[in-house]
Amino acid sequence: MIVLPLLKGLWLTLRRFFSKPITVQYPDVKRVPAPRWRGMHYFDKDAKGETTCVACGLCVAVCPSNCIYLEIGEREDGNRYPIRYEIDGLRCIFCGYCQEACPVNAIRLGPGYEYVKYSRADFTLTKESLLSMYEGKE
């Protein structure tokens, strides 16, 4: 009977019409991404506000996009730190390998998903921008 599928379709439309919408009025309304979401990177900080990165280079080695640049420095106490740490956000594929490989949990992928810039240079995440991102989180 040809009418039955038609009625089923209309019934489905009617049900959807009165159900709660799953869409949001972005950008006025923003959703918190799922906990497993891998968004914009940020650096974990110590009490002094410095990165906890020990410049081991594991994230650089594991990155499949080859988009992490690390310049290693050494403090007077012999501990290593990143003089320069940069991620090319245009090459990054947000795989999360850097976060997984980091032995001190210094580099992390946060909840940020708004990544729109006017110039290509602004897509480079520097040590300073990684430290200033997600203030107060975690």
Which residues are at the interface with ligand SF4 (CB under 6 A)? 53-59, 62-65, 67-68, 70, 87, 92-98, 101-102, 104, 106-107
Tell me the closest approach of the beta carbon of residue 2 to ligand SF4, in angstroms.
53
- Paired with 68 in beta bridges are 87
Q: Which is nearer to ligand SF4, 97 or 123 (CB)?
A: 97
Q: Which is nearer to ligand SF4, 30 or 105 (CB)?
A: 105
**Alpha-carbon span 88 to 52, nearest angstrom:** 20
Write the CB contacts of 44 (distance below 8 Å, at least 6 apart in sequence).
51, 52, 104, 105, 106, 107, 108, 138
Tell me the closest approach of the beta carbon of residue 131 to ligand SF4, in angstroms.
12
Q: Which is nearer to ligand SF4, 15 or 36 (CB)?
A: 36
Q: Which tokens is 113 given?
A: 């998903």
